[in-house]
Amino acid sequence: MDYRTLPGTDLAVSTLCLGTMTFGEQNSEAEGHAQLDLAFDAGINFIDTAEMYPVPARAETQGSTERIVGSWLRRQERSRIVLATKVSGPNRGMDWMRGGPQFTKEQIHAACDDSLSRLQTDYIDLYQLHWPARHVPMFGQTYFDPANEYTDAPALADTLAALGELVRAGKVRHIGVSNETPWGVMECKRLARELGVPVINTIQNVYNLINRGFELGLAEVCHRENVMLLVYSPLAFGLLSGKYVTNPHADGRMTRFANFGVRYLKPYVNEAVAAYSALAQEYDLTPAQLALGWVKSRWFVGSTIIGATSIEQLQENLSVCDIALPDELLAAIEAIHRRCPSPAH
């Protein structure tokens, strides 16, 4: 396992990170602990979760993922684990959480305290804003429209100041964003410098073979502003594992939860997935190995968040540590991309 230091920090994180959002919905506590044990034994020291998990978000299960991670974490040497979690933003229909999440000082402090309690720890290594409090195209949306702007969101400066208070209190070591845009990254950096509060160190955004939107602006911004990309959905909700190519009704989030994967139901997605799956077969790789190996090879990727619902899936994902894609395969991937560019973006 390789490790990279998050910019501006002393946190060396594994280049694979274990995502946990199935814990408490598709995976039991025992299954979650088994995945954590396997990942840790393989060299993964980086764990990502969120207060709203598991998904899909429901009042009955909210917080279960953090509780499962916490019951495992209490048996570990805390200093060996880099723990990331997220505070939920507004306007996602979760009125059952704090009357509707907002990035106010009061809500951010309350959310952090609740996460610390569920995780059974006294500090969070990386605390992330799960999505912006302003309107941005995300989760399958493509275009920005100012007509959809939110009118009741707190000022970003106030949100960053509240996060800074958590850092000063020792509850949070470093902060990051998720589902952000180039403007958002730049504005977070500008305001932090202006206010004298901690700067963001990471961005957690979707990036995979069928959604390469990060390359269009964010790659340069993050490079110049010293922000590391943490990739989520590298397998596109399991599509890039190839399982739906052979069985469109295979069990998974795309078939189990109605309307959950609309971002991957766009035209030409299936065509691109089938092409990448066939290419993987040519090189004696599984489609998942091809997709994860490609993400891992990108110069701007700091860590790739992998998730699974079975030990067998997790073992396959972990095998990418030993795989380096040859130049001719990378060129073949680019050829498919040129024919069918980012169909899920």
Known catalytic residues are 53
Q: Give CA angle at 302 (129, 315), nearest 5°.
A: 100
Q: How far apart are CA 197 and CA 176, in angstroms?
A: 13
Beta carbons of 105 and 161 less than 8 angstroms apart: yes
Record the tokens describing residue 345, joined without a space.
């973006």
Q: Please name which of 75, 1, 9 lies closest in space to residue 45, comparing C-alpha atoms.
A: 1
Beta carbons of 210 and 274 less than 8 angstroms apart: no
User: E strands within the chain?
Assistant: 3-5, 12-14, 16-19, 46-48, 82-87, 124-129, 172-178, 200-206, 228-232, 301-306
Within a 10 A sphere around the Cβ of 108, how many other Cβ atoms? 24
